[in-house]
């Protein structure tokens, strides 16, 4: 899907340099993936302390 976007050239150039990726397309796609990943992590973090605890769970059993 071809899309025309007005992207800040300075930001894109800096992201391209920092990422070490070869193309602007790769850089934008990577940035979008990281953005989505961070937002999903925030949703998970917001759940800490809000879910019921499983008192029968044995974390040591998973180490074997």
pLDDT digits (tens, 9 = 90+) for 18-53: 999 999 999 999 999 999 999 999 999 999 889 888
pLDDT score of 34: 97
pLDDT score of 2: 81
pLDDT score of 37: 97
pLDDT score of 62: 78
pLDDT score of 9: 96
**Is the pLDDT confidence value at 58 over 80?**
yes
Cα–Cα distance list, 43 to 24, 38, 52 (Å): 29, 9, 17
Strand, coil or helix: 51: coil
**Is the pLDDT confidence value at 64 over 80?**
no
Directed axis angle between helix 24-47 and helix 9-19, to 10°?
80
Q: 16 with 27: CB under 8 angstroms?
A: yes
Which residue's structure tokens are 């769970």? Answer: 57
Q: Where are the domains of the chain?
A: 8-46
């Amino acid at each position: 899907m071809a899309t025309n976007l007005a992207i800040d050239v300075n930001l894109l150039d800096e992201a391209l340099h920092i990422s070490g990726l070869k193309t602007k397309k790769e850089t934008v796609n990577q940035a979008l993936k990281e953005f989505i990943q961070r937002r999903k992590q925030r949703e998970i973090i917001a759940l800490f302390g809000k879910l019921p605890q499983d008192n029968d769970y044995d974390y040591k059993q998973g180490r074997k």
